[in-house]
Amino acid sequence: MEEPDGPVFDEAWVQDAKVSEAEIRRHQTPVPQPVPAPWRTWTPPPQPMPVQGGGIGVGGYLAIVAAIVVAIICGCTGLGLLAAENRARREAAPTAAAPTGPAAPAVVAPESGDAAAPAATVATRGPVPETTAARLPWTPVTSIPDGGPDAKLPEVFATLKVGSCLAETTDLTTIIIVPCSGPHTDEVTLVRDLTPVFMTAPTGGQIRDLQDELCPPAVAAWTGAGDRRYTSGYIWQFMDGVRGFACTAELTGHGPFTGTLRHAAA
């Protein structure tokens, strides 16, 4: 019997195996097979579109630059002409304008016959200082007369008329009639008979209402205008057959003064 050249399998041994080759392969986990990757293609970068007609070229660029330069030169020339025109207008304007600095004082020549007197100078610019008290027809004072007829008495009150001058004493208890040429605190601006107004003696509230109605207009008419430097007062009487009400003009603060408040605010 000849020996075989290669290995010899015992087919009977294979058939007698407990697990067949097909069974072993069935229980084996299949080895994943590599999936071929999708085909990748290389895309070239975008290329600039060719300019139809051969492009701008060097000559075109030079023309653009030249146009820009010409525009700049024209603009500068126009600005220069405008500035020159404005300068010419300013130079042609009248030169007799008001001086911006302090004006030189004007020299006043001495009067004839007094050549030896020094020349006086008068400033031509700047406000001239004014004294308020010098412009007003009244002057504040610090004292009032010691005595006079008591205006609270019915017979004295009956003599009051528009233009009468009163003075309130320093103790604020007496109002006396005084000459208008001297210090006083009040000037009578209105006199009203209360007989047709009240049948019986009025209350303090009624008198104050009457004062609010009659006295401020009377003071404004007396001084010439409404002015916070001046205010109104009043005095009234309702007894012994004398029934009257009088408005007065006085300084705000009720201080004494000489002169008059007549037309003081005009």
> What is the distance between the alpha carbons of residues 218 and 206, in angstroms, rounded to a whole number?
18
Mean pLDDT of the chain: 77
State the pLDDT at residue 54: 53
Identify the domain containing residue 175 by its residue range. 148-259
> What is the distance between the alpha carbons of residues 202 and 196, in angstroms, rounded to a whole number?
12
Q: Tell me whether residue 171 is in a domain.
A: yes
Task: Give the residue, 249 or 67, on which the prediction is more confident.
Answer: 249
pLDDT score of 121 more than 50: no
Q: Tell me whether residue 88 is in a domain.
A: no
* Unique residue bearing structure tokens 């820009």: 68
Q: Tell me whether residue 167 is in a domain.
A: yes
Confidence of residue 14 (pLDDT cuts 50, 70, 90): low
Q: Tell me whether residue 214 is in a domain.
A: yes
> What is the distance between the alpha carbons of residues 204 and 183, in angstroms, rounded to a whole number?
29
Q: Tell me whether residue 23 is in a domain.
A: no
Q: Tell me whether residue 216 is in a domain.
A: yes
Which residue pairs from 248-255 have beta carbons closer than 8 angstroms and sit at least 24 positions apart in sequence? Answer: 248/166, 248/186, 248/187, 248/188, 248/189, 248/215, 249/186, 249/187, 249/189, 249/218, 249/219, 249/222, 249/223, 250/185, 250/186, 250/187, 251/138, 251/140, 251/185, 252/228, 254/168, 254/185, 255/140, 255/185
Burial class (CB in 10 A: 0-12, 13-18, 19+), 157: buried
Q: Tell me whether residue 64 is in a domain.
A: no
Give the count of domains, the chain.
1
Confidence of residue 39 (pLDDT cuts 50, 70, 90): low
Q: Tell me whether residue 154 is in a domain.
A: yes
Confidence of residue 9 (pLDDT cuts 50, 70, 90): low
pLDDT score of 129 more than 90: no
Interacting residues of 106 by C-beta distance below 8 A, sequence separation 6+: 121, 122, 124
